[in-house]
Structure 1
């Protein structure tokens, strides 16, 4: 009613939302909605009741809750986050907690700066983490078993004054963790990360070219067997960020970091590069290279040779020469190949379809372009997995094109690895798959895509130890790729066939978090849950599977299986049957 006095009170506000909600909904809308509803019903609301919290607002991907005590709010937040971690949930939450003055209207709705700050803190929290304001920190410090990392003052959007923030962690975690992140151990060979080069062309349209230049340099360096080279998808997590080279070296476990810029103007290309020793920050080498665009491959060769020689002066010259393989003699085909690359990394059927269009243009121009043929085969195979094209026709076409890629260049490790994957996973030609996989790993042991594709070949052949070794190596080469569901999926399947269903469940849940609509991860998760006797949860996984199209019957899954051994097929199909899949 107009004229009623505004009611105010001091309240602790907890704001939470789902990490990556938009992309999850885009990839698997019904499955994501069902998961979030279950999370709210089974985890969040019971925790609120236990800690006397009141749900004041829900959004599609989050909640706001009010507590009379900041201690209760923090305890509730910890309980929810720890429950999600313990259950291996694919969904992760960010949380922000603030203590402040709020306005309460006649309907009990809450407004004001107190709730706005909580919402801003939540947006800054780490996935799976809790960020609190200084007011909350002052109230709970010493009263419950938690420790805080001072996260500094933050200038929050639409909040006039900076807010001091603290990231919360459990005491047990703090006791177990060292005072500083140890980083990854250095490999026993010269190791390097090539960071994204800055596009100096003044044209955002040329971004794909700058990124492609970096990818080609990474590929060339990975062909030098003496080197350990971090994968492109990991180094590109640093794109657009101001980086501390020493921190990059620690996070990636490398001795050297290459950074630089690319300028493409008219018919000329200029590349500048500097090689830095990560541990000390000292510059080892810096140079500038400029060529006509028609000589772009020579320019890449010069950069690669200069970097290789600076890192290891005694390197065998044949190794450097081997890294200089020209992918194609046609620059139009090369341009099409580069334009396909961003879409290959989106990991969804529509993007694979976009990439396929560019790759088909590339191989139409140059039918012997082995890299383009290999990625085209991979692209078609992935779309078949997603159900975006008829499975049998798609997989047979993927086999044909993969074999073309190998024939075009029998020493292209990527082509051999993709062919190994296609032959084992789709066709069941395991002997030829092993031959290709072993050759690929001899030629390019430093390539994450080679390691992953070959690992799947070993996995489907039942060679589990070798499969695990290659998945682990791929993870070391590509540790930070935020979209790579392949590695945890593969490790989960290895653990499944080893009979370690608990580890399998953990890895498969991580894979689903990165690729929510990938049916094979959900299938193995359902089967693992069934083997663990968690039948209700297995049935929930099956219900998600039925929401993903196209739906396959158990008979179809069994008939399409290319697993090399009967015991593997029995464990997989039998687990699905226990889970209620029919």
Structure 2
């Protein structure tokens, strides 16, 4: 959706604010704030409304809120005195008073996917079995239970992918709609889906009550609804029941291997800890969150040694720490991750996520062909697993086939256009461009990666190297400074020791990268 006011255009899908042909730089939260004010221009928006919509209800100081509001005013040429577009009503809130015209762009040009330059994206009309599972409402009256409610919605998203012929929007994209006003037709257009599943969960002691309903995004009709009241210990059986009924409502069939989950469910307490750990991973792959998540996964396994999802969770943590240069014991981390994955797959050979994570690990440890095979196996089990496409794309440039990378990244973004791991996918896309000596395009991809996550150190250094080779020395040094703030121990020697492939084309690319890092001022060793 695009919003036109005065000489400005706010493109919600591309997350861009333009004045004529000029792109106006806007920080992510300031952009979200402006977008929210425009979408709610028919009313006065209070401080509490803004905090709930932009910060998900987290505590925000008045000073921080004022700073974001001033940034929005500055971006659109407004001021606190003139208030041409954004009017402050004392003790009431803010009101966007500019005249706005709304226009739409074709779905194939939406979101990050279009910014990657994809060809032939989503079709004009949604696929028959296309669906998004929106975050469930927490009716427990306890905010501390949000992680559990989110975990149930995520599991349902995974299960829906088992429906033969389905197209399911990724969990991370779906959760960008959390705590926001639902406009069925708009969500259908934005994600190019025909159906929407929403619901609520109330947990009281050892019992769960879940309400779910299926809606048609084109007609807003309620197609199916039901309520489930079960013991927490029966959660996975309840999910099977929901999916089975939903499959019948959509005239689809579950794939044979996923018709029923294993008869044995994990210990409820173990499952609870696993949900908590997964919620931390969704907040970001930082050393702090990773450490806390690993502890929770380990506690889950102590209660239930056969909790396969928790095993894979520990592997994700160790792989993230080992491959992200966060840890000095890289080899030990990757070895532990591989051991956990082998054990998990011995218990659950058809666990798609385990195959994906193992594929990621193999790709990052000089075994790209085997890694690609694991990712392809993951896609056989779950065709909507966006990350598997991204990892195959990464493997392509590691094996000297960078021309093939972007098509895989485009497919990943098609399945989950607002994924929490978008920063990694864009990092891979930039590396492929750099390998092809398309340095300006590499800069574009890495800048977009930083827009998605500014706390991933390696992206700053890669960007610095490409900027230095392009002659933008001052910008390169600024990127190095930002990277060293996040990772003070980074050096060219450390980066050299972290090579992920011995393919000649890949190694030649790295030699160019070392030269760029030196020009940018990265410490040698």
With the length of structure 1 as denominator, give the TM-score of the two structures: 0.70
Q: CA deviation at 1:458?
A: 3.8
Distance 1:166 1:124 in 2: 17
Picking from 270, 273, 279, the partner of 1:336 is: 273
Matched, 1:450 2:388: yes
What is the alpha-carbon distance in structure 2 between the residues aligned to residue 483 and residue 417 of structure 1? 14
More strand as a share of residues: 1
Give the Cα separation in 1 of the matches to 2:500 and 2:511: 12
In structure 1, C-alpha distance between the alignment counterparts of 2:451 and 2:399, rounded to whole Å = 27
Cα distance in structure 1, aligned partners of 2:81 and 2:488: 51
Q: How does 1:119-138 map to 2 (within 5 A)?
A: 123=69, 129-130=75-76, 132=78
CA positional deviation for 1:267: 2.4
Distance 2:73 2:405 in 1: 30
Unaligned runs of 5+ in 2: 1-17, 35-61, 109-121
Contact 1:93 1:129 in 2 (8 A): no
Q: 1:378 to 1:460 in 2, by over 3 A?
A: farther
Match of 2:441 among 475, 496, 503: 503
Aligned residues: 457
The equivalent of 2:149 in structure 1 is 210
Q: Quote the residue 1:358 is aligned against.
A: 296
Give the 3-state SS of the residue equivalent to 1:474 in structure 2.
helix
**1:165 corresponding residue in structure 2:** 97
Structure 1 segment 199-278 matched on structure 2, within 5 A: 199-278=138-217
Residue aligned with 1:285, SS: strand
Deviation at 1:416, TM superposition (A): 0.8
| Aligned-residue offset at 1:342 | 1.4
CA contact (8 A) 2:30 2:71 kept: no
CA distance in 1, matches of 2:446, 2:145: 37
Change (3 A) 1:447 1:520: same
Q: Secondary structure at the match of 2:224?
A: strand
Cα displacement (A) at 1:261: 0.9
C-alpha distance in 2, partners of 1:414/1:527?
A: 34
Larger deviation, residues 328-337 vs 500-509: 328-337
- Please report the RMSD computed on the Cα atoms of aligned residues, expressed in angstroms: 3.5
User: Could you say if the C-alpha distance between residues 137 and 206 of structure 1 is closer, same or farther in structure 2, counting changes exceeding 3 Å?
Assistant: closer
User: Could you say which residue in structure 2 is the equivalent of 1:541?
Assistant: 479
Provide the secondary structure at the position in 2 that maps to 1:279.
coil
Give the C-alpha shift of residue 128 in structure 1.
Answer: 9.8
Alpha-carbon distance in structure 2 between the residues aligned to 1:287 and 1:565: 55
| Cα drift, residue 466 of structure 1 | 4.7
Contact 1:526 1:542 in 2 (8 A): yes
SS at match of 2:342: helix
Residue number in structure 1 paired with 2:507: 569
How far apart in 1 are the matches of 2:75 and 2:263?
46
Distance in 2 of aligned mates of 1:200 and 1:133: 41
2:164/2:255 contact within 8 Å kept: no
Matched with 1:345 is: 282
In structure 2, the residue matched to 1:284 is 223
Conserved 8 A contact 1:414-1:449: no
Using the TM superposition, give the Cα deviation of residue 572 of structure 1 relative to its aligned residue in structure 2, in angstroms: 2.3
- In structure 1, C-alpha distance between the alignment counterparts of 2:287 and 2:174, rounded to whole Å: 24
Aligned to 2:51: none
CA distance, structure 2, for counterparts of residue 344 and residue 474 of structure 1: 19
Within 1, Cα distance between the matches of 2:152 and 2:33?
39
Cα deviation for residue 434 of structure 1 reads: 2.3
TM-score of the two chains, using structure 2 as the length reference: 0.77
The DSSP-based 3-state class of the residue aligned with 2:230 is strand
SS in 1 for 2:300: helix
Which of 426, 446, 454 in structure 2 is aligned with 1:488?
Answer: 426
Post-superposition shift, 1:407?
A: 2.6
Indicate conservation of the 8 Å contact 1:237/1:481, yes or no.
Answer: no
Counterparts of 1:453 and 1:395 in 2: how far apart (Å)? 17
